[in-house]
Amino acid sequence: MRPAKAAATLVFGGDVMLGRSCAPNIESGMDPFAGIGSVLRGVSFAAANLECTISSLGDSASRYAFRAPARSAQLLRRSGFHAMGLANNHALDFGAVALHDCAASLSREKIEPVGVKTSSGNACAPSFFSVRGGKKIALLAISDVGPAAGSEIAAASDRVRLSDAIASARSRANLVVCLVHWGIENSANVTDKQRELARWLVNRGVDLVVGSHPQCVQPLDFYHGCPIAYSLGNLVFDGAPSVASWNRGALLEIGLNENAQTSASRLVPLILEDGFPRIDAAMESNTSETSKAFAVGK
């Protein structure tokens, strides 16, 4: 059940990888997000981490380079996504030319690419979105895995630019959200480095931290009243049917009240089948304790 009495509803997901064995299913007409349509439908804002490149450009010698079908951007739009974080260790799988082609493909579908270098040269720059009730949210995306500061994507190590970007976001938005690619793959344990970065972000003015990369769900934590979802696991991802945690993820649904405070939330548990998610109804019915009252934002 959606958070009650919310003026606006925000939804965040984990890693979205639309390439490899997911690609032929998408090209045949399958919708990878059909199983979570009831959550995405009608929300004020939805975002996730795009763990692949939507582009035919560039080359890669890596076996772990993920290229998504051309229609993927259209599918993301039709499914209800408003933004995708591109700051991750697969953003440059096919080089900068493919990364920027991917960002352009998203932009053509009215999906904001976040965490990638813009014409101004600042990958850390926040993007702004108006939601119901006349409120504005700011979204940043950074990576603590892969390319370092000064590359084509926003790096967590670029603390000076990142601090300035958060200050800019704080001055213009009611709620500041940061997508962070971090942690250790296939580990449900939060690292000290993750905790340090999360608290640094909150201390600088971020209201909500949403993590990805570990390929499994990690704990939901709070710092100074601000929720930190260390990892929402996989949203769309093929690969490891024998690894139970790989095939489980979560959506974080946040209710925003008239004062732009996060008034309620819920974690929607997911099961991945052939890489595509569906709601785990059995687990959801037993997780009412994950719904909590928050008071963050301005």
Note the pLDDT of residue 166: 99
Would 218 be classed as within a structural domain? yes
Would 296 be classed as within a structural domain? no
CA dist., res. 7 & res. 131, Å (int): 9
Domain interval for residue 206: 8-290
Note the pLDDT of residue 5: 66
Would 171 be classed as within a structural domain? yes
Contact 178, 205 (CB under 8 A): no
Note the pLDDT of residue 4: 56
Buried-exposed string 271-298: b where 16+ CB fall within 10 A, e elsewhere: bbeebbbebbeeebeeeeeeeeebebbe
pLDDT (tens digit, 9 = 90+) per residue, 168-197? 999 999 999 999 999 999 999 999 999 999
CATH code of the domain in which 283 resides: 3.60.21.10
Can you point out the beta strands (E) in the chain?
Answer: 8-16, 45-50, 83-85, 112-114, 127-131, 135-143, 175-181, 208-212, 220-223, 226-229, 234-236, 248-256, 262-273, 276-279
The dihedral over CA atoms of 165, 125, 15, 67, expressed in degrees to the nearest 10, equals -160
Rounded to two decimals, the pTM is 0.93
The structural domain count of the chain equals 1
Note the pLDDT of residue 290: 45
Note the pLDDT of residue 93: 95
Would 3 be classed as within a structural domain? no
Would 221 be classed as within a structural domain? yes
Would 101 be classed as within a structural domain? yes
Side-by-side strand order, sheet with 226-229 = 127-131, 135-143, 175-181, 208-212, 226-229, 220-223
Would 134 be classed as within a structural domain? yes
Note the pLDDT of residue 2: 56
pLDDT (tens digit, 9 = 90+) per residue, 228-260? 999 999 999 997 666 778 899 999 999 988 877
Question: SS3 for 105?
Answer: helix
Contact residues for 113 (Cβ-Cβ < 8 A; gap 6+): 83, 84, 86, 102, 103, 106, 107
CA dist., res. 153 & res. 114, Å (int): 9
Note the pLDDT of residue 217: 97
Would 1 be classed as within a structural domain? no
- Consecutive 10-residue averages of pLDDT for the chain (298 residues): 73 96 93 97 97 96 92 97 98 96 98 91 94 93 84 94 98 98 96 99 98 97 95 92 84 89 87 94 64 34
Could you tell me which of 49, 13, 145, 18 has the C-alpha nearest to residue 89?
A: 145
CA dist., res. 202 & res. 227, Å (int): 9
Half-sphere exposure of 54 (CA within 13 A, CB side): 27
